[in-house]
Amino acid sequence: MTSPSTWPDLGALEVLLGVAETGSIRQSALRLGISQPAASLRVRHLEEHLGVIVLERTPSGARLTADGAAVVGWAEQVLRAYRVLLSGVRALRASRDSQLRVAASLTVAEYLLPGWLATLHATSPEVSVSLRMANSHDVVELFANEEVDLGFVEGPVLPTGLQGRSVLRDELVIVVAATHAWTRRRSALSPRDVATAPFILRERGSGTRDVFESALARHHLSANVVIELASTTAIKEAVMSGLGPSILSRLAVQSELREGRLREVTCRDLVLERAIRAVWPRHTNLSPVARRLLATVEATVATTA
């Protein structure tokens, strides 16, 4: 089997087919948009490559030799197959460029991504988006399995194996039921007050929990987790029922705080802020449609800042 380096030039085959149809190298060159000398040179290289003479040059033009006629028959099949290949690749590219697989942490998926996708759809209605919701740690595995093209995570550090950039700063708040004893305090909580309280938190691996535990660790403290729930909605209901305090993104509790169903309490010396990052695998480039969504996100954040 020959290697690609020994295959003939497809452009030379096109010149040869043009000569077969027009009876002239000049006319074949005109059809292909190249000069006559360039066309003649391609045919000579083809003859040298194949080891047969395909054209007989005459004062009135050029005509196929018997070998040339045989080569033309095979060349037609080769070029037809090549056009099928190009058409298939264009279809693949069009499909890839119109489909986007996104992974997002719960907070981003519920409170940010719908607005971002609505803006993307307004400018690029042909783009189809599928969303996977996963905690920040699980997003890494989705990339490893090549299941997503772009991810959005929150947390104190960039997940291992990924690159990305911060698109938004997110504030976390400690929330309690309206009847909780902390709402009657006249002073802010201390980190130790928070560490000793029975908290309701997301599962391990969630960005919210990572930020909370990292903030306490800076004071050599750890969280007292009595209930783990994987849903932000379930956590809010549990807190409002009086089961204990929690920490959630301000994005997730705006309406409950406004309506008084949850109350925010402050803690001195506890930094509860995180970066929301767009991420993708290291040493890879974003697809055009992923770059389009990222640009949409950054423009949307800039206009609302």
Region 129-158 average pLDDT: 87
According to DSSP, the residues that pair with 42 across neighbouring strands are: none
Q: Helix H segments across 99-132?
A: 106-111, 113-123
Q: In the CATH scheme, what architecture does the domain 105-298 have?
A: 3-Layer(aba) Sandwich (3.40)
Per-residue pLDDT at 104: 93
Is the pLDDT confidence value at 5 over 70? Answer: no
Region 99-114 average pLDDT: 91
Is the pLDDT confidence value at 4 over 70? Answer: no
Residue 48 corresponds to which tokens in the numbers above? 């040298």
Percent of the chain whose pLDDT exceeds 70: 94
Which H or E run contains 48? helix 36-50
3-state SS record for 222-240: CCEEEEECCCHHHHHHHHH
Name the least confident of 7-11, 213-217, 262-266. Answer: 7-11
Q: From residue 65, how far is each of 31, 215, 221, 274 by CA, in Å?
A: 22, 83, 89, 75
Task: Say how far apart CA 36 and CA 107 lie, in whole Å.
Answer: 65
- Per the prediction, the chain carries an average pLDDT of 88
Confidence bin at 305 (pLDDT 50/70/90): low
CA atoms within 13 A on the CB side of 87: 6
**Phi/psi at 182 (nearest 5 deg)?**
-65, -25
CATH tag, 4-95: 1.10.10.10
Region 234-261 average pLDDT: 96
Give the global pTM. Answer: 0.64
Domain edges within the chain: 4-95, 105-298
Region 236-246 average pLDDT: 97
- Do residues 238 and 226 make contact, with C-beta atoms less than 8 angstroms apart? no
Per-residue pLDDT at 96: 61
Task: Say how far apart CA 265 and CA 256 lie, in whole Å.
Answer: 14
Is the pLDDT confidence value at 78 over 80? Answer: yes
Which H or E run contains 151? strand 150-155
Per-residue pLDDT at 63: 82
3-state SS record for 120-182: HHHHCCCCEEEEEECCHHHHHHHHHCCCCCEEEEEECCCCCCEEEEEEEEEEEEEEEECCCHH
Name the least confident of 87-101, 188-202, 270-284. Answer: 87-101
Task: Say how far apart CA 31 and CA 179 lie, in whole Å.
Answer: 84
Is the pLDDT confidence value at 249 over 50? Answer: yes
- Do residues 222 and 301 make contact, with C-beta atoms less than 8 angstroms apart? no
Region 24-35 average pLDDT: 88
Is the pLDDT confidence value at 146 over 80? Answer: yes
Per-residue pLDDT at 1: 45
Fold: same for 4-95 and 105-298: no
Cβ-proximal residues to 302 (8 Å cutoff; 6+ apart), any chain: none
Region 213-238 average pLDDT: 95
